[in-house]
Amino acid sequence: MEDKNTKKTANNHKGWHNNTDLGCEVKTILHSDKRMRTSKEYQGVLRLDAEAIVDEFLCRDPHYTFVETLPWSMKRNPRLFNGKFISITRQADGSLRPNFKPMRTDKDFSIEHYAFGVYRELHKALKGLIGE
């Protein structure tokens, strides 16, 4: 038996596909808050990580990761990480793109310091966005 409210909601979202995943896990990577706040909307990217295979059976509990993007903008490729040496954006196809920031090569410039700084930021960003 279909509820009138359900039918009304389905008609209001014509062209959209409504789904509910019960018992799912969502990992959040937020910029603005340590934990999500009730009723606050976040802009970001939600990714279905995997449906795990446990003892040769497909585990149906989905695992998601939500990555908050930096403040609302009309940018095509949202910035997910913004460091001193690099930034990382998400492309339209979902892939991550590291971008180098301009390099200052003044008298105090050290190749080792620069290269190590890029490594540390890239490691930190990928560890937070992808995991171990």
Q: What is residue 74's predicted lDDT score, i.e. its pLDDT? A: 56
Q: What is residue 118's predicted lDDT score, i.e. its pLDDT? A: 95
pTM for the structure as a whole: 0.46
- Going by their DSSP bridges, the two strands 44-50 and 63-68 should be labelled as antiparallel
Instruction: List Cβ neighbours of 43 (8 Å cut-off, separation of 6 or more).
Output: 68, 69, 71, 72, 78
Q: Is the pLDDT of residue 1 over 50?
A: no
What distance, in Å, lies between the first and last C-alpha atoms of the chain? 46
Could you tell me what percent of the chain has a pLDDT over 90?
Answer: 21
Residue 7 sits at φ, ψ, to 5 deg, of -65, -40
Q: What is the mean pLDDT of the chain?
A: 79
